Structure formats: C-alpha cells, structure tokens
Amino acid sequence: MLSIGKLAKGQEGYYLDAVARGVEDYYLEGEAPGRWLGAGTALLGLAGEVDADALAAVLDGRDPTTDTRLRSSKGGRIPGFDLTFRAPKSVSVVFGLAEADIAAVVAEAHDLAVDAALGYLERHATWTRRGHGGVEQIRGDGLVAAAFRHRTSRAGDPHLHTHVLVVNAVRGADGRWSTVDARHFYWHSKTAGYLYEAHLRSELAARLGVRWTKTIKGIADIEGVPLDVLGTFSTRRAEIEERLAIGGWSSPRAAEIAALTTRKAKQRDVDPATLRSRWREQARAMNFGPRQLAAVMDQRPAENRGLAEVRAIEAVLLSPAGLTKQSSSFDRRDVLLGVAGALRDGASVAYLEAIADRLLCHPEVVALAGQTNDVIRTDSGRVISRASTGARWTTRELLALEQRTVDRALARRRTGVGLVDAQSLAAAVLALPDDQGAVVEHLGASGHGVDVLTAPAGSGKTYTLKTARQVWEASGYRVIGAALAARAAAELQSAAGIPSSTLTRLLGRLDRTSMEPNTVLVIDEAGMVGTRVLARALDHAERAGARAKR
C-alpha cells in the first residue's frame, strides 16, 4: 500500500538522521543505502547512492551543485513529501525469515514495484502551477526523489517498506523550477498503491513461484503463510487497533493519531543476525519453520496471460457489477484500480496501463462530453484553484438504463398518483408562504408518478415536505422516506416527520416484500444517488403504482 505524508519545515533533520543516515536501526549492517529516483533528479545531475548533503540541499529547495534556488522561499514551508510503500505482511514475513538469497529476491522485487509505481506518479501526477493564484497547471518534467528501503517496524517485526522522499520542487514544461502541485499525488495515491501491489505480486510469482490470496482493496497475501504467523509479526497493528478500540474510534484520522500515540523509539542495538534468529524462533513456535516456508514457494506457475484473460476482465468491469456499480461514470484511475484488483497474480504497471487504455477504447465505453476542470472559487467568484482531473467515461448499458428510467418517469406524468383531497390541500397552501405553498399544491394535485423538488439550502424545503406529508396522510397515503446515509435519513425523519431509513435497507426490504400502492416515497438528495440504486427504487414504486418524490 501507499501512504503520503508532508514534511514540515524543520523536519528535514529528522529524515536526514533517522531515515537517510540511519541513526536508528533502519540501516543495520547489510541494508541497502538510499538511492536517487526520478527524472527530475537526473536534471540536477544526481544518480546512484544518496548523498546526505545533496539531499539536504534539495529538501531546502537548492540545486546541490550550483546552490541556485529551485523554488521560492514561500514554497519552502513544505520541503517535500514522504511517499511510503509498504509490502503486505506475508511478503515481509518471507523476507524476514528466508535465507539471504531469497530475501534479496524479495527486496529486489519490492524495489522494482516501488520504481514502477513512482513512474506512474511521474507520468500522471507531476504538475506545478503558474499564474495569479496558481490557476494555470503546467506538467512537470519529473520528480526529484530519494528512496530509502527499511526492513523492520518500530516494534521490531519484519516490515519491508520504502520511504520515497519527494522534493517539493519540479521543473515545469516551460523550463522553470517551482513547487509541486501535490494535490495530484493524493488523487493518484490509491491507484499508485494498487499498481505497486500488483507489480510486486507479478515479480514474486515469477521469481519465487508464490501464489496469492484473493485481492481485497488491491492487497493480497502469499498463500500458505498462516494467519496466526501474520498476527504475531503485526505488533504495531495490534497496538494501534487496541488504542482505537479503547477510544471507540474508527476513522482514518483516528488511526493516524493512534499510530503516533503508540509510537515507540526504535531499537538501536539489535544486529541483523539476532533479528532474524528471533523471528525464526517465533515462527517455529507456531510450526512455521524452514520446511513450511519453502512450501509457500515453487508452487504451480501462474497461468499464461492472453487475450482471453483481458476480455474476461473487460466483461467484469463493464458489467453492472463493475465500474458503474456504485458510480455513474469512471475515469482512468478507476479502470486501473479494477484491472489491478482483478489480477490475483498481478502484472507489471506497463501491462496494467495497456489493459486500462484498451478498455477505454472498448465499443461499450462512451466518453462523456462537456466536461470542465474542477474549479474552486471564493465567495466573490475569484478562482483560487483549478484541477485537471481528466476525462470521464460511462458504459452504453448504463446510459440505456438512465434513458429507460427517464422515459418511464415521463410516462407516469398525470397518471392520477398521489392526488389529495382538494379542500385539505387548499387549507394547507393558505398557511404557507407563496413559494412553499405552490410546491405543496403541485405535489398534491399534479398526479405525477415521479416528481422532482429542488431548492437551495435554507429555503424551507424540509418544512414544505412536512406539510406535504400531513396533506398526504390526511388523504389516506402512507409516506416513507429514504436517503443514502443513515444520518440524512434520521434528519428527514426528525424534521419532516417522515419515517425514513437508508436506501440500502429500504431496497433490501422491498426485494423481499412489495410496496403498498397507497405509498408516497420521498428520496432525500436523490441527485446524489447512483443511477442503479435510484432505478431500483423507482421500479418498486412503479410496480406498486406508488408515488415517488425525489
């Protein structure tokens, strides 16, 4: 997996000492030295093993040879970014328990996967900004980065990972150096993490013959490494989970805080031989010795790839259960996530990108027109940020579903659904302001099978729905509500008096039973609901002859 952290001003010393120079036990005897990575590094004449003085210079925003500034002093508030690539625990266990020759293979496979994933970020996430407020985006010529591979966690467990320190300076396509537009790192971080994992799986499957468990969120473990062994060598994870449980927390931010509060100083007096000896004793105590370790390698070779595999991946990703299962559209990053997750034995980043680009040219894929860059504005309308997040696509099948949903909603116009007593409606309308009264009058008298209510925040929409609910109930209708989130459903129920649940729970119930014909269904924030979910809800309402208010 990949995580990204910012280096705060003044934190360079920590990374130069604890990470680069190895004051702690990161760099015990036999560990690899830091190495320069990135096309931007070559522009500065840096290559091979990392020199601490050169790293200090670039983190300070200076060319290590000429001492010229690579960014403004204002941009120096963030010297760089720590991109940390972590191998799955089973890979770290094999790396820590194996003999030196096998461990070297695992380390090399990890390095190659890191390089490949960083190459993806260089090609797709390396940008800088120009113009007033930084509204113009310029592609960067490559990253200035230094990679430091480590082998242990702070708890002394095998933990193969690499810190890639990316300098906050990039040369734009216009030849000028300036700070990195790091938003793109975060937008592409999940994809880069999936690509690292898939590339690593491919390398180890080919080199050691290991097989992999099913991928979950892009991550798989080596088959044959027992769960209790993985747990034994996951001391840090156990510490963090225990702290989260004590506090009753579950958010990613809470996990970060728990990691910091349970952090211990690294051991500095343990040599590599002692570490490996201790790890092997722990593994043997769980009946996972050299014979069991050897058994996880040299298993049956991975199946040969070919056009059939590619077509099978395409069929899954373009199906209703694929890329458009939860969203009406997707971008190239989404395709890469799907492809990387579908290949249990992994593949090179180049192969994954080739499959993704092939899928985007598939006859069933439709490019969405009329897209604009994401823009962030102040209240006065001034543009303060413009992000080029790329094109989006959808499938012909989903477009057809959307069209059918619209057509069926239009066909239910003026069908006499949800009509209320005229006298009760008139009395309710008189008690409301003109705009709210007009809405309630329309809802009670239109007879449409599907109605859409849009209103800005603070316009009294919830109070209007409360009144409409009272009018419907007075005419013998049962009014129910649904929303994407449980909190939104609770607010709808509390403010408008409409019994509500999440859409997931409602649809699960309706799949087992059926909606009563005298029902009015209110879907809160329907514009945020995915096409497939919304279509299911409207189908249930139509079959029952019920009214749906979106």
pLDDT tens-place string over residues 155-196: 778 999 999 999 999 999 889 999 999 999 999 999 999 999
Report the alpha-carbon distance of residue 442 to residue 185 in Å, rounded: 49
Q: What share of the chain is helix, strand, coil (3-state, %, to 5)?
A: 50, 15, 35
- Distance, CA of 390 to chain centre: 16
Quote the pLDDT of residue 421: 85
For 254-270, the pLDDT digits (tens) are 545 545 454 555 555 55
Query: Distances in Å between the alpha carbon of 50 and those of 55, 65, 417?
Result: 7, 14, 73
Residue ranges of E strands in 266-409: 365-367, 374-377, 383-387, 393-395
What's the DSSP call for residue 166? E
Tokens of 269: 């007096």
Q: How confident is the model at residue 367 (pLDDT cuts 50, 70, 90)?
A: very high
Q: What's the predicted TM-score (pTM) here?
A: 0.85
Report the alpha-carbon distance of residue 319 to residue 312 in Å, rounded: 11
Give the residue-averaged pLDDT of 516-520: 90
Helices (H), 446-519: 461-474, 486-496, 503-512
Quote the pLDDT of residue 19: 52
Tokens of 151: 């082998």
Report the alpha-carbon distance of residue 526 to residue 530 in Å, rounded: 8
For 101-143, the pLDDT digits (tens) are 999 999 999 999 999 999 999 999 999 988 777 778 899 999 9
Give the residue-averaged pLDDT of 10-22: 60
Report the alpha-carbon distance of residue 92 to residue 98 in Å, rounded: 10
* HEC-encoded secondary structure of 233-295: CCHHHHHHHHHHHHHCCCCHHHHHHHHHHCCCCCCCCCCHHHHHHHHHHHHHHCCCCHHHHHH
Quote the pLDDT of residue 262: 46
Quote the pLDDT of residue 223: 94
Residue positions counted in the chain: 550
3-state secondary structure of 79: coil
Query: Distances in Å between the alpha carbon of 35 and those of 6, 32, 52?
Result: 20, 9, 11
Pair 317, 335: CB distance under 8 Å: yes
Q: Tell which CATH classification among 3.30.450.20, 3.40.50.300, 3.30.230.10, 3.90.380.10 matches the domain 412-549.
A: 3.40.50.300
Q: How confident is the model at residue 251 (pLDDT cuts 50, 70, 90)?
A: low
